[in-house]
Structure 1
């Protein structure tokens, strides 16, 4: 699918905009010359074609002025109910954007427990502390550790009170592991063992994430009746995608670990997991790899999506977007169409390897099986202030080996996608009805 650069004849109301960085210039604003955006489904005439940039033409100032909206926390859309209150929102939108997929997934959980967030935040800040050269970074790490330890000691009772009753014992065990781990991390800092900091930090954040997940006793809302009988992921699941790399002597195959978030996108994540269990993607090639996205999911033949053998028709799902402050996703309309220009998405296009559904540009409810992973450049697509957030359904993040997505090429083969955990959270699985 070809695309042209924005010119004086390009209407902002009739074209899809996105920010990308071409190889031979600094910045360009793109608008689609066809009824497809760069993230649209691959049609029969477009199969095997990759997105291409024809030329460089417009300045960074104009680009940012045209397509970005400065986030504000003064909007009424931030009035929260059962979801985390303002301190969590400010964590997401103040300062440098959060690009770590694990952190994004933790903040996206439907919990409201300030005490555990106050343990989480300084542990995540260790990543920034380690960017300082040499052992000087350890002074900042030590401050992070002390802050996390103090927050844990002061808030332990409040944290445990937030854990679901059926998971109290597990919660107690996890808090003990966090406490012991913080002592270990303090010793690592005192020994000036910089290389050991990041692995211990990762371990501790995994414990914190587990405590936060234990705070969820049940799925927090009802999916609208019209979608309630579709495959739904009511919780989270993890899958491993094994890809065979062609024509790369240094990389023969890679396994990408992906966390699917059904708390914020139950229909979208459920549809994908159902197709995974059908082995729909096994043996399928990467169909688009252009430096902006990696995309697949277009089956052979005339169909542009998954044809359900029980109906003989292409299964489509609605656009599904969860905004910060909402207790359930919105369906069928973009946040822009709803006039919610300052709304923040609960699953933003922040991380390299953000996973979302491709669809027809002018049909919000046309997604089926084609998925893409964004090769993110935060400087050009600011968090929650770009043309992607609120327009495409994000439903997960690549959490391991995401950097290797940039090495994928058209023709590389997905050998398999296998469920690691969370299959019990899939309801209405159609693969069990018709194989």
Structure 2
């Protein structure tokens, strides 16, 4: 990335003005819109507090509200967002690297160098008013920021209640590839915010439990469900206990350090709360339970078919009643093509299997 004194000075002057006056991209936009992109939700759900990366992330994500605008001043906002990001990479490099655990610092330095090159190119696309190029490089920048933010997490941030010691738990994140009869889907499974739910899913995926199972429910603009084993059982039978393994309802909100267990939002009076992992994106993975209980989910899961009008973020009937535990990050367009009778051919854990612990 070019880093001449002149370039640095120009970026510094511009970005200082931007940071001191507030973010013009954010200021010019309506507030209160729910985040509906799974990758963005996952970035925001990481248990980190690195303000410089968060500032850069928020600034770039906010441009999504102006890239489609036909107003001439959109390029002013996009140039400012790119300049602010360049400034943060150049001037906050030391503080960002110091926040990364030493074991991952070399990887972080390489990522930060690549990010610097990307946001420099992002600024060029904004200057040239190339909207397609800007969108592609913004996506790449946000992916690099997310990778950097993931390096910031050191130890698992809280203790899971002892009553669940026998259950598997995912102490971090995993990436899975879901192969279906109509194509492939990739998803990130989030154990930071739903460790027992994510742990049960990854454990069953590693066991090959889901391979060959059909989708048993497909409701337009609502859910696509699978995980019901063949035979009379409705869930996974633990070979040791000979009983169905059941996972408690597990939901975390931003104001709490740990999830709530076996309580719906209605039970605890949180009628307007938003979970850290909301059902707000096409391909949100949710854990199914029966109508009679909230702690009897065993193996069945669903993919939420988010629709901005029919199942709007924050106003659906699933948040606070079911646990979300991940998001589809590739192949979400395939979801609305799948029907009852289509099959999961396999679910492979392509990253993060080492973060699964069989019990406490």
Q: TM-score, normalised by structure 2?
A: 0.86
Tell me the distance in 2 between the aligned counterparts of 1:110 and 1:416.
31
Counting only pairs closer than 5 Å after superposition, residues 29-44 of structure 1 correspond to structure 2 as: none
2:319 counterpart of 1:319: no
Shift of 1:429: 7.2
The answer for the alignment partner of 1:261 in structure 2 is 190
Tell me the distance in 2 between the aligned counterparts of 1:134 and 1:352.
29
Tell me the distance in 2 between the aligned counterparts of 1:384 and 1:191.
38
Shift of 1:135: 8.9
Residues 164 and 214 in structure 1, CA contact (< 8 A), matched pair in contact too: yes
Residues 239 and 418 in structure 1, CA contact (< 8 A), matched pair in contact too: yes
Moved more, 375-384 or 419-428: 375-384
The answer for the alignment partner of 2:19 in structure 1 is none
Instruction: Name the SS of the counterpart of 2:64 in structure 1.
Output: helix
The answer for the alignment partner of 1:398 in structure 2 is 328
2:48 counterpart of 1:111: yes
Tell me the distance in 1 between the aligned counterparts of 2:70 and 2:283.
27
Tell me the distance in 2 between the aligned counterparts of 1:177 and 1:386.
39
1:270 alignment partner, one of 193, 199, 203? 199
The answer for the alignment partner of 1:243 in structure 2 is 180
Flag the 1:149–1:358 CA change in 2: closer, same or farther, 3 A. same
Tell me the distance in 1 between the aligned counterparts of 2:165 and 2:243.
19
Residues 324 and 343 in structure 1, CA contact (< 8 A), matched pair in contact too: no
Residues 135 and 194 in structure 1, CA contact (< 8 A), matched pair in contact too: no
Which is helix-richer, 1 or 2?
2
Tell me the distance in 2 between the aligned counterparts of 1:220 and 1:138.
40
Instruction: Name the SS of the counterpart of 1:307 in structure 2.
Output: coil
2:213 counterpart of 1:284: yes
Shift of 1:164: 2.0
2:305 counterpart of 1:337: no
The answer for the alignment partner of 2:97 in structure 1 is 160
Counting only pairs closer than 5 Å after superposition, residues 55-70 of structure 1 correspond to structure 2 as: none
Flag the 1:423–1:312 CA change in 2: closer, same or farther, 3 A. same
The answer for the alignment partner of 1:352 in structure 2 is 282
Counting only pairs closer than 5 Å after superposition, residues 186-197 of structure 1 correspond to structure 2 as: 186-197=123-134
Shift of 1:414: 1.0
Flag the 1:380–1:114 CA change in 2: closer, same or farther, 3 A. farther
Tell me the distance in 1 between the aligned counterparts of 2:359 and 2:335.
29
Tell me the distance in 1 between the aligned counterparts of 2:87 and 2:231.
60
Tell me the distance in 2 between the aligned counterparts of 1:240 and 1:429.
24
Tell me the distance in 2 between the aligned counterparts of 1:358 and 1:297.
9
The answer for the alignment partner of 1:38 in structure 2 is none
Q: Which runs of 5+ in 2 are unaligned?
A: 1-25
Query: What's the RMSD between the two structures over aligned residues?
Result: 2.3
Shift of 1:155: 3.4
Q: Deviations over 1:285-322 (max 9, x none)?
A: 11111111100111111111111222221111100001
The answer for the alignment partner of 1:300 in structure 2 is 230
Tell me the distance in 2 between the aligned counterparts of 1:386 and 1:295.
17
The answer for the alignment partner of 2:15 in structure 1 is none
Tell me the distance in 2 between the aligned counterparts of 1:140 and 1:212.
25
Tell me the distance in 2 between the aligned counterparts of 1:103 and 1:159.
20
Flag the 1:299–1:135 CA change in 2: closer, same or farther, 3 A. farther
Residues 97 and 378 in structure 1, CA contact (< 8 A), matched pair in contact too: no
The answer for the alignment partner of 1:370 in structure 2 is 300
Shift of 1:411: 0.6
Shift of 1:115: 1.6
Residues 34 and 314 in structure 2, CA contact (< 8 A), matched pair in contact too: no
Flag the 1:411–1:95 CA change in 2: closer, same or farther, 3 A. same
Flag the 1:408–1:295 CA change in 2: closer, same or farther, 3 A. same
Shift of 1:139: 4.4
Shift of 1:382: 4.2
Instruction: Name the SS of the counterpart of 2:329 in structure 1.
Output: strand
The answer for the alignment partner of 1:206 in structure 2 is 143
